[in-house]
Amino acid sequence: MSLPSEAFAYADGVLTTSGVDLRAVAEAHGTPTWVYSGERVDAAYRSITEAMAQASGGSETLIAYAIKANGNQALLKRLAALGCGADIVSGGELLRALRAGIPAERIVYSGVGKSRAELRLALEKGIRAVHVESESELRLLGEVAADLGTTATIALRVNPNVDAETHPYIATGLHSTKFGLELDVAERLVPEIVGDDRFHLDGVSCHIGSQLGSVDPLREAVTLLAQFALQCRELGAPIRSLDVGGGWPLTYGNEKAPYPADAAFGAAIAEGLEAAGARDFDLITEPGRALVGDAGALLTSVLAIKDQGGKRFVILDGAMTELIRPSLYQAYHAIVPVVAPEGPTRETDLVGPVCESGDFFARSRPFPEVREGDLVAVLGAGAYGREMASSYNARPRAAEVLCEAGSASLVRRRGDVESLWAGED
């Protein structure tokens, strides 16, 4: 059975990752459990690093991992050790990144709404850049910098009005979305910022969206961004960095055509810079799912099977509370039994036990026969799984296990049910 994963494969008829038999993980830690491959995270990091080195033509590059994809401390520490930085979206994510050992000077802060307290924390910690996304935010940040008697290092996040041609929920580079500053607004703000010693305009950034199926919109956005950066320099801004955002894709398994390789993304960035005549900028990119998505699976057990209304339902102990992507975006995830299947498949709805008709992993999917107690893995689930988890229906959070070189370690304990009502009395 061929799987859309470089991390999970059958060995002697049993699904494994990093040399670990997933039956052993279930035996030791129960289900539902997140399972990650350490080596796969490293390989993804290396691949994007190489592509960015090609793109930069020798200037410095920073991979600022969008930790919203998966903020597990073990994964963050692993990436920090490789030299990775972070793209954060809240004060909570800032503390999470620092706790894992990601240095403040490798942290950039995107996000359309930042509170006074969050901006203060970012300045106190001395992060690399606050990505300003509105005029209101610029005013507030100026006040916070003045209060602290410090200079705020900023980048202007622009919205280049480029169509990323991706799912509408993950497209962020059009004016019809809430993200970034329109280019003409950003241009108008530059002289004001340059003349204000509360600010140091260090960079420009954009993020047009996730899952870029073509590198053309990226090339176009990079050109617009680089032209804007050059304009800022002409206006006297000491622009050092160009942050080209995320969008590095993850193969989920239902694609009609393969995604471009990382090297093609690197080449498109280089071409975009070239078209603008931009050289000697440091480059930042913000991959999220491409670093951790393929490395993770949700390991679940079959609770029950029933045939109803002409359909087969396989009811798993994992649910939308662990992985909401199918329910929220009709997202596709490959799903496989842990013991390699034999025999025919039949159309099956793979669902969870949560009290919602929308609680499903797959509908009308050809799936082999399984029995109560069998283990099933949902692949491509390392990103936006545990981060978007909820405790709906009083379900404690799932355990997380990191596998590497044939051994598995628990990197987050299963949640206690009692913690669900902690602080309520």
Point out which residues bind ligand LLP (CB under 6 A): 66, 69, 87, 110, 170, 172, 207, 210, 245-248, 286-290, 325, 383-384
Q: How far is the CB of 27 from ligand LLP (least distance, A)?
A: 30
Least distance (Å) between residue 252 CB and ligand LLP: 10
The CA–CA distances, whole Å, from 63 to 6, 79, 282 equal 21, 10, 11
CB of 197 to ligand LLP, least distance (A): 28
Of 45 and 248, the one with the shorter C-beta distance to ligand LLP is 248
Residues 6+ apart with CB under 8 A from 331: 252, 325
Give least dist CB 406 to ligand LLP, A.
29
What is the chain's Cα-based Rg?
23
C-beta of 290 vs 402, nearer to ligand LLP: 290
Non-local (6+) Cβ contacts of 198 within 8 A are: 142, 145, 146, 151, 152
Whichever of 292 and 375 has its CB closer to ligand LLP, that residue is 292
Q: Output 100 or 314, the one with its CB closest to ligand LLP.
A: 100
In whole angstroms, the minimum distance from the beta carbon of 267 to ligand LLP comes to 18
Cβ nearer to ligand LLP, comparing 32 with 337:
32
For ligand LLP, the closer of residues 351 and 389 by Cβ is 389
Ordered DSSP codes for 112-136: S---HHHHHHHHHHT-SEEEE-SHH
The set of residues, in sequence order, having a beta carbon less than 8 Å from that of 45 and lying 6+ positions away, is 63, 79, 82, 84, 291
Structural tokens at position 212? 């870029």
Distance between CA atoms of residues 199 and 150, nearest Å = 9
Shortest distance, CB of residue 349 to ligand LLP, whole angstroms?
Answer: 21
Bridge partners (DSSP) listed for residue 362:
350
Q: Considering 84, 206, 232, 355, which one is annotated as catalytic?
A: 355
Separation in Å, CA 199 to CA 27, 94, 112, 144, 336: 55, 20, 19, 11, 52
Whole-angstrom distance, CA of residue 65 vs CA of residue 288: 6
Residue 38 tokens, joined: 């350490």
Strands 14-17 and 20-21: antiparallel
Give the residue at shortest CB distance from ligand LLP.
288
Q: Identify which of 326, 403, 328 has the alpha carbon closest to the alpha carbon of residue 365.
A: 326
In the complex, minimum distance from the CB of residue 121 to ligand LLP, in angstroms, rounded to a whole number: 19
**Closer to ligand LLP by Cβ: residue 25 or 298:** 298
Neighbours of 165 (CB within 10 A): 14
At closest approach, how far in Å is the CB of 289 from ligand LLP? 4
Phi, psi of 401 (to 5 degrees): -130, 130
To the query of whether residue 355 is one of the catalytic residues in this protein, the response is yes
Position 219: which residue type?
R
Q: Taking Cα atoms as reference points, which of 228, 230, 212, 224 lies closest to residue 266?
A: 212
Residue 117 vs 328, nearer CB to ligand LLP? 328
> Which is nearest to 254 in space by CA: 363, 382, 385?
363
| Residue 153 φ/ψ, nearest 5 degrees | -85, 120
- Catalytic residues, by residue number, are 355
